[in-house]
Amino acid sequence: MKQEKPEKDEVILDETIPHQANAPSFKGTGIKMEAPFVNQHGVIIGDSQYASSNSPLENWSKETDPAVMAGEEWVHPTNDIGWNTTENRELLESKRRPQASPFMHPTKDVSKCSD
């Protein structure tokens, strides 16, 4: 069976951020990876290119107010360097379902009455 090749902006490997070497995996957390988006200034957020011709960073001058780059529209929900912090990694781990040991039954206590 031939699989269709995903679109360039759809490439997400097993619910991870493949371009960040130490990025956490979202697999098993219930948080779904989201695609990049274009904010109200025409800047693509979350594509990991970090440069956009419309970005105030690319057009900086003495007249540029740094506040123009403040707010949620500048932060991608799943492709953000902030996920690499200890606190956010712990948040992801707290959402992950515990994995059963390979020697344990996932729903039965097989050690009951064995001692």
Model confidence pLDDT, tens digit, residues 64-109: 999 999 999 999 998 888 888 999 999 988 988 776 666 666 677 7
pLDDT (0 to 100) of residue 1 = 46
Residue 41 is assigned to a structural domain of this protein: yes
Residue 104 is assigned to a structural domain of this protein: no
| Together in a domain, 18 and 40 | no
pLDDT of 56 above 60: yes
| Together in a domain, 53 and 64 | yes
| Together in a domain, 28 and 51 | no
| Together in a domain, 15 and 42 | no
- The predicted model scores a pTM of 0.64
pLDDT (0 to 100) of residue 54 = 86
| Together in a domain, 40 and 52 | yes
| Together in a domain, 17 and 50 | no
How many independent structural domains does the chain possess? Answer: 2
Rounded Cα distance between 16 and 60, Å, is 32
pLDDT in tens, 2-39: 444 445 445 456 666 666 777 788 888 888 888 889 99
Structural domain boundaries enclosing 64 = 35-76
* Dihedral angle sign, alpha carbons of residues 89, 94, 95, 99: positive
| Together in a domain, 41 and 70 | yes
Residue 47 is assigned to a structural domain of this protein: yes
| Together in a domain, 51 and 62 | yes
Residue 30 CA neighbour count, 13 Å, CB half: 7
Residue 111 is assigned to a structural domain of this protein: no
| Together in a domain, 40 and 65 | yes
pLDDT (0 to 100) of residue 61 = 93
| Together in a domain, 45 and 17 | no
Give whole-number Cα distances, 47 to 16, 30, 66, 110, in Å: 14, 22, 22, 48
Indicate the helix (H) or strand (E) that contains 87.
Answer: helix 86-95
